[in-house]
Chains A and B, each alone.
Chain A
Amino acid sequence: MAEKTQDFVKGLWEENPVFVMLLGMCPVLAVTSTATNGLFMGLATSFVLLGAGIVNSLLQNIIPDEVRIPSFIVVIATFVTIVDLVSRAYMPAIAEQLALFIPLIIVNCLILNRSEAFASNVNVLRAIIDALGRGLGFTWALTFLGGIREILGFGTLFRGTGAVIQVLGEWYQPMLIAILPAGAFITLGLVVGLVNVIMSKSFSIKELFGGSSAVKEEQTTA
């Protein structure tokens, strides 16, 4: 039981696909201009993750090692196409917003990573739990980034849906850079830095800045 809980929780925080593993950066940067886009992209990716996880786990003894990558990709592509068609049929407005980033889920390395490194080596139950954990981790990360950028750039949350929340009032002059591509990089960089500081054991306010610059050095030398 503890192992299964661990499988689930890891994806949420400790091995968060976005903030810690830095996987699938293309959708992270490209579609997080609003919380709505982030949430939907996260859910779409989670669905593919779950579907591919289940199928690839079930087929682990059937698929020969030599063709596992092409097999995984075909399975993943199938689920992505399903998401693409279904979203265009039932949620046309949001599908149009995300446009080609839905087909691009196929090349999201998070999904291939989970199929290759986890789902194809464990039983179906663990594959499902893992996919749910990672999917949820990916979803909250995208929604969180989208939320920050949307609040700064529009003053709202979940715009484009029926439940738009006006977070900041009329007085707020939107900070345009937040919803531009540059804002995606800056927001992601700051949040990843913050997550690193929080995760480092000796967390203190002093390291808020010292810590994040140390992380930066590591990344540039890597």
Chain B
Amino acid sequence: MDNTTNLTVSSAPHVRSKETTSNIMYQVVLALVPVMLAAFYFFGSAAIYLLLTCGITAMLAEAAVQKLRGKPVTISDGSALLTGLILALTLPPKLPLWMAIFGSIIAIVLGKHIFGGLGHNVFNPALVGRAFLTLSYVVSMTEWTAPNGVVDAMSTATPLEGEAEVINLFIGRVGGSLGETSALAILLGGLYLLYKGYIDWRIPVGYLGTVAVLTTFVGEQGASFHLFAGGLMFGAIFMATDMVTSPVTKKGRWFFAIGCGLITTIIRVFGNYPEGVLFSILLMNMCVPLIDQYTLPRIYGEVKANG
């Protein structure tokens, strides 16, 4: 990374315009390509079905809601597609497709448009969809299948409930949700986004760093396991960094990232749920307006009033 980014306060677009939003959305979709390929490689056609179902449903739901609200239909900006794809990548491979459809509709309607549409949503829409599914269909949402080419992988439990070799976790040869298994593919996509300047390094670094430091001291499985297992890598790079639902300032982003890391560790090590990434990001999403209020320089208030 060169130092041209030094001049900007943050990586979010300060002037909102269709062109930029749409462009960024498709760049993020592009960054998801390695993750989607890994999902296809490890889980086969199930990955394709889920990705297509969620992507298409999310776009249809967005179009339907915008029609009902009498607003221009903007599904071509790619934001609904992105929400659908991210949601799909957090789902277990064998999830019934109707649940995926349901989750996508919830993500778009309850996660996004209830709050007023793109840019107004408090929570990451894909995570709202996933939270809804997790709470509604606990059994289906925790049935992990072994990826292709792995004979002795646990067929019923996510690695967080058992043990796994770190190298397998890194490459993705473990059971888990579609897009979260391969840290390698996620990192590739993340590096691309960093290079393009669409995500701020502070959030993934702060998030992963906090978890790494904390799990060195608490819990039994150690930092390298916690970093590569479960949805942490995917959440830290693709979901916590969502522009709409993360703080605007550098300082705020540090707070946000460290908060996510802290809550994730607490849930993973001490909580009843095996995975804490989902709820930690949602909880910190909720704090973003507060974080922004305390970390925003005064001049930003004026800019915001115009936006």
Contact = CB atoms under 8 A, between A and B. Distances in A.
Interface in B95-130: 110, 113-116
Interface residues of B, number: 15
B113 A176 contact: no
Contact of A210 (B70, B136, B137, B140): B70
A205 interface: yes
B69 interface: yes
Contact of B65 (A182, A209, A216): A209
Interface string A102-142: 00000000000000000000000000000000000000000
B115 A177 contact: no
B151 interface: no
Given A177-B132, A177-B136, A180-B135, A210 B114 contact: no
A180 B134 CA distance: 12
B68 A209 contact: yes
Contacts of A212: 114
Contact of A186 (B68, B70, B110): B110
A161 interface: no
A186 B137 CA distance: 17
A209 B110 contact: no
A213 interface: yes
Contacts of B110: 186
Nearest to A176: B136
A212 B69 CA distance: 11
Interface in A187-222: 205-206, 208-210, 212-213, 216
Interface in A23-73: none
A208 B137 contact: no
Contact of B68 (A175, A177, A178, A206): A206
B7 interface: no
Contacts of B138: 176
Given A173-B137, A212-B114, A213-B114, A205 B132 contact: no
A176 B114 contact: no
B116 A208 contact: no
Interface in B48-92: 65, 68-70
A177 B65 contact: no
A206 B136 contact: no
A217 to B, nearest CB: 9
B160 to A, nearest CB: 21
A182 B132 CA distance: 9
B113 A209 contact: yes
Nearest to B65: A209
B135 A176 contact: yes
B135 A209 contact: no
Contacts of B136: 175-178
Contacts of A209: 65, 68-69, 113-114
A177 B70 contact: no
Contacts of A173: 137, 140
Nearest to B110: A186
B69 A177 contact: no
Contacts of B140: 173
A152 to B, nearest CB: 9
B272 to A, nearest CB: 14
Contacts of A205: 68
A161 B115 CA distance: 39
B69 A206 contact: yes
A213 B116 contact: yes
B207 to A, nearest CB: 25
Nearest to A210: B69
A205 B67 CA distance: 10
A206 B137 contact: no
A96 to B, nearest CB: 26
Contacts of B70: 206, 210
Interface of A: 173, 175-178, 180, 182, 186, 205-206, 208-210, 212-213, 216
Given A178-B136, A209-B69, 13 more contacts: A173-B137, A175-B136, A175-B137, A180-B135, A206-B70, A208-B68, A208-B69, A209-B65, A209-B68, A210-B69, A210-B70, A212-B114, A213-B116
Interface of B: 65, 68-70, 110, 113-116, 132, 135-138, 140
15 contacts: A173-B137, A175-B137, A176-B137, A176-B138, A178-B136, A205-B68, A206-B69, A208-B68, A209-B65, A209-B68, A209-B69, A210-B70, A213-B114, A213-B115, A216-B114
Closest 7 CB pairs of A and B: A177-B135, A177-B136, A209-B69, A206-B70, A175-B136, A176-B136, A210-B69
